[in-house]
Amino acid sequence: MSMSTAVYMTSSLHNILVTEILEQGPMNVERFMAQALAHPEHGYYMKQDPFGVDGDFTTAPEISQMFGELVGAWVADVWVQMGCPSSFTFLECGPGRGTLTADVMRVTKAVPGFHSAVHIHLLETSPVLKAKQHETLSAYKPVWHESLDAVPDRGPVIIIANEFLDALPIRQFQKIGKGWQERMVDYNQTEGFRFVSVSSDLDISDKAPIAGSGDVFEFSPVRTEMFQKLCEIVKANTGGALFIDYGHLKSGLGETLQALYKHQYTDVFDHIGDADMTAHVDFDSLVQTAKALDIYVSDVIEQGSFLKNLGILYRARALMSKADEMQKKDITAALHRLIDSDQMGSLFKVLGFHYGYPFTLPGF
Ligand code: SAH
């Protein structure tokens, strides 16, 4: 088989996708994103630890311990409002390096009865990150799951997920004339990868807002299904859940699929399998999903407001009172990064839901 030099020089995943498209025709964005992130051998999350200075991106728990401490306070408050059950499931979805749960566990040491009641479950598909989580969390004897089907149905549950939903693949649709077509990834030797629109097996006309020709609408069946299962777990077992992610409050138009490679945005077709790939979370559609199941769902608010409502300014002040000049600078920088509108404070949104208790969800 003859291959152009350009193809030969690129990643093996690139070649696998080219072959699939040439054999089977254009693939939808869902399959493209799923392969880029989760191809068993070459997918981004299957191969590497993406975080930190040498990685591709950083997340709130990796920026500062304050984030995990406040989420820990949220979890403890919810557990107390549940009547301090003597046994409960704590599930983190997509725990990355395990930093968030480690901070939650550290801060809840001060809550009498919490540690003897908690059973930690982690939803994770990446072997590399599972190994990291093992290093961070093995003292707490977590149980790992690759799918939600194996999470036990026994007693109350508290779920947290930070930057998890954005990693779940989306489908894209484009208004062409009066109708919607699905945006697909095609390939040819001269142009390389490119988007094309073709007719789709999924009719999204009842989901999409009013649009003009050329507009793109994103919808994620995978994310919807995952979120719905999490709602069902809480409904069947009682409890509460917290989701933090970047995204929009109202279902809208626009293309948000993005790739990050070594802390820089890059074309989604460059570095396939070596760059992180995400899409904004449509929080409005999550709210609708929870409401359809008669679950109490919070307002969706900005991360900056949520963290301030939970007392991040006091926490920062307390940390500063024991810090040297260098540490004070770090704390201040992290604080601004987490809450300022021009940083993570506004783009990141927070959603909570609960079932089975007369809760006041903290932070909202
Ligand atoms: N919550 C962490 C990591 C966010 S990155 C933090 O804030 O730092 C996304 C995480 O979700 C990674 O741990 C990744 O391996 C995991 N992940 C992605 N897709 C997944 C899936 N389908 N099922 C389970 N985990 C998944």
Which residue's CA is minimally distant from atom 18 of ligand 1? Answer: 167
Model confidence pLDDT, tens digit, residues 67-112: 999 999 999 999 999 999 999 999 999 999 999 999 999 999 999 9
> Is the model's pLDDT at 9 over the cut of 70?
no
- pLDDT of 199-216, one tens digit each? 999 999 999 999 999 999
Q: Is 123 in the pocket of ligand 1 (CB under 6 A)?
A: yes
Q: Which of 8-12, 127-131, 135-139, 215-219 has the lowest mean pLDDT?
A: 8-12
Query: Mind listing the pLDDT tens digit for each residue in 11-20?
Result: 789 999 999 9
Nearest CA to ligand 1 atom 25: 124
Res 53: pLDDT: 75
| Ligand 1 contact via 243 beta carbon (within 6 Å) | no
- 8 A C-beta contact, residue 315 and residue 62: no
Q: What is the pTM for the complete model shown?
A: 0.95
How high is the pLDDT of residue 55?
Answer: 84
User: If you measure from the C-alpha of residue 328 to the centroid of ligand 1, how many angstroms do you get, rounded to a whole number?
Assistant: 31
Residue-level pLDDT at 10: 61
* Cα 75 to ligand 1 centroid, rounded to whole Å: 20
pLDDT over 90 percentage in the chain: 90
Q: How far is the CA of 50 from the centre of ligand 1 (A)?
A: 10
What is the model's pLDDT at position 126? 95
Is the CB of residue 68 below 6 angstroms from any atom belonging to ligand 1?
Answer: no
50 lines ligand 1 (CB under 6 A): no
E strand intervals along the chain: 27-28, 88-93, 118-123, 143-145, 157-162, 171-176, 179-188, 192-198, 216-219, 239-248, 258-261, 264-266, 276-278, 281-282, 296-297, 301-302, 348-355
Distance 180 CA to ligand 1 centre (A): 31
Q: Is 41 helix (H, G, I), strand (E, B) or coil?
A: coil
Determine whether the shortest distance from the Cβ of 187 to ligand 1 is under 6 A. no
